Chain A
Amino acid sequence: KQEVTQIPAALSVPEGENLVLNCSFTDSAIYNLQWFRQDPGKGLTSLLLIQSSQREQTSGRLNASLDKSSGRSTLYIAASQPGDSATYLCAGRKAAGNKLTFGGGTRVLVKP
């Protein structure tokens, strides 16, 4: 059974600092991994999707890496801004199934 963990649960940084968010998963038979952003009281916005055959994906200030052998993915956000304050969720999908297994999320606060 796939388990996804995100540590830390909360993170506070000053504006301009780079953010590093960690996600670990127990089952290396992962087909892809997706990073989402959730604002308070809102739905989920997909940020990046990494296929198991890929090692990283980039979109603007965001970069996500995937290391299947160690069961880890990392989301980097460069030059953080107050607008980056949100909860960031990672979710893995098994090869055989289609449901997403979510981590508990990391709540990020970027202070101006």
Chain B
Amino acid sequence: NAGVMQNPRHLVRRRGQEARLRCSPMKGHSHVYWYRQLPEEGLKFMVYLQKENIIDESGMPKERFSAEFPKEGPSILRIQQVVRGDSAAYFCASSPPTAIQETQYFGPGTRLLVL
């Protein structure tokens, strides 16, 4: 059973470009979470999704950021018109649907660098 997969592992963008980060949860997991780790800071929750639904987006910046988890395919975190302050490691985690308070399993992260 493969773990949580994220791609790309590293992404370089220039200011103003778009960044698309992908997350494939573990097999059988239908809950996906995105967290951001800014340089020298802890991990901060961004958004929690189930298939085709955003459950909690209280940690998402109000502008330029969006997330989706379609019925088929990976979850996508999209950042439009990136700025230097968006440079960070973005982690995806997943958990199974059977119990909402289960352990979250983390992917290796996508490290975004905005030039």
Taking Cβ atoms with an 8 Å cutoff, the residues of A that contact B are: 31-32, 34, 36, 41-46, 49, 89, 91, 93, 97-105
Alpha-carbon separation in the docked complex, A41 to B111 (Å): 9
Give 15 CB contacts A-B under 8 Å: A36-B106, A41-B111, A42-B108, A42-B109, A43-B107, A43-B108, A44-B93, A89-B43, A98-B31, A98-B55, A98-B56, A98-B100, A100-B35, A100-B43, A102-B44
B13-42: which residues lie under 8 A (CB-CB) from chain A?
Answer: 31, 33, 35, 41-42
Q: Kindly list chain B residues whose C-beta atoms are within 8 Å of the C-beta of A43.
A: 91, 106-109
Whether B33 contacts A102 by the Cβ 8 Å rule is no
Residue of B58, B59, B103 with highest tally of chain A CB at under 10 A: B103
> Residue-by-residue, is B73-114 near A (CB-CB < 8 Å gives 1, otherwise 0)?
000000000000000000101010000110111111101000
Alpha-carbon separation in the docked complex, A99 to B60 (Å): 13
Q: Kindly list chain B residues whose C-beta atoms are within 8 Å of the C-beta of A31.
A: 101
The one of A100, A103, A105 in contact with B104, judged by C-beta atoms closer than 8 angstroms, is: A100
How many residues of B are in contact with the other chain, CB < 8 A? 26
Whether A44 contacts B56 by the Cβ 8 Å rule is no
Q: Kindly list chain A residues whose C-beta atoms are within 8 Å of the C-beta of B41.
A: 104
Alpha-carbon separation in the docked complex, A31 to B107 (Å): 23
Alpha-carbon separation in the docked complex, A102 to B106 (Å): 13
Minimal Cβ-Cβ distance residue in B for A49? B103
Alpha-carbon separation in the docked complex, A60 to B58 (Å): 37
Whether A101 contacts B45 by the Cβ 8 Å rule is yes
B69 within 8 A of A: no
A107–chain B nearest beta-carbon distance, Å:
11
Known: A98-B56, A103-B42, A104-B41. A44 touches B106 (CB 8 A): yes
